[in-house]
């Protein structure tokens, strides 16, 4: 099991949740307002100078589910018109939790 984190522009959040549901994943958390700067694209700091912000979806997934999510995100990014539309993911081994899985 891994912790899988997806970060995307707020405008893509609903689409990402729908894609995740189609994969059969039903356990996740959403952090609605995430500010920051990725290596690609402009900062999203929700200010007049750097407008916009991201959302983050966090889930505990199996290795197979992680592969499905990566394939999904790579497909979305290949169709993106610019780096500003990229969806990012982070993955790390789950070390401990009190969740009943």
Instruction: Map out the domains of the chain as residue ranges.
Output: 2-93
Report residue 61 as tokens: 């997934």
The pTM is what?
A: 0.86
Over the stretch 20-74, which tens digit does the pLDDT of each residue have? 999 999 899 999 999 998 887 788 899 998 889 999 999 999 999 999 999 999 9
Burial 23-40 (b: 16+ CB within 10 A, else e): eebeebeeeeeeeeeeee
What pLDDT is recorded for position 1? 86
Beta strands in 1-101 (DSSP E): 2-9, 29-34, 54-61, 88-93
What pLDDT is recorded for position 85? 77
- 48 conformational bin, left if phi > 0, alpha if psi -120 to 50, beta if neither: alpha
Which CATH architecture fits 2-93?
A: 2-Layer Sandwich (3.30)
Q: How many CA atoms lie within 13 A of 33 on its CB side?
A: 5
């Amino acid at each position: 099991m891994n912790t899988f984190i997806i970060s995307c522009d707020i405008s893509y959040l609903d689409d990402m949740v729908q894609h995740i549901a189609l994969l059969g994943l039903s356990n996740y958390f959403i952090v609605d307002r995430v500010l920051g700067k990725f290596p690609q694209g402009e900062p999203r700091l929700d200010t007049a100078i750097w407008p916009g912000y991201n959302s983050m979806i966090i889930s505990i997934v199996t290795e197979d589910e992680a592969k499905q999510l990566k394939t999904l995100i790579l497909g979305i990014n290949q169709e993106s018109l610019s780096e500003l539309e990229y969806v990012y993911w982070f993955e790390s081994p789950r070390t401990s939790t009190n969740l009943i899985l």
